[in-house]
Amino acid sequence: MTQKLPEFNNNDADNAADIEMNLTGMKCPLPVLKARRQINQMAPSAVLKITADDPAAPLDFEHFCDTGGHQLRSSTEQAGIFTFVIAKSAG
């Protein structure tokens, strides 16, 4: 089943990641908690790419970015695997 996700800029150059995390096999809330721990250690505007298979991940990462001031640059789903590209807030 393919889930309709919001449209984003999927330009590879804009979405090049500084760090990639494979969080498949983890269920809510672990993917967001691990991503938060990682992004807190990153420089402002650094880019984190996450793969996850938890069905709650799209909503969880959208909320994580909204509340943390981070930019969700890309959100895609293919065969039950979600990929998120997040730029850490500048401030």
pLDDT in tens, 41-77: 999 999 999 999 999 999 999 999 999 999 999 999 9
- Is the pLDDT at 19 greater than 60? The verdict is yes
Average pLDDT over residues 23-50: 98
Q: Which two tokens stand for residue 42?
A: 């990153």
Distances (CA, A) of 57 to 2, 3, 11, 13, 47: 14, 12, 22, 24, 18
**Residue ranges of the domains in the chain?**
19-87
Write out the catalytic residue numbers. 28
pLDDT recorded at residue 4: 45
Say what the pTM is: 0.84
φ, ψ of residue 86 in degrees (nearest 5): -125, 130
Q: Which fold has domain 19-87?
A: Translation Initiation Factor IF3 (3.30.110)
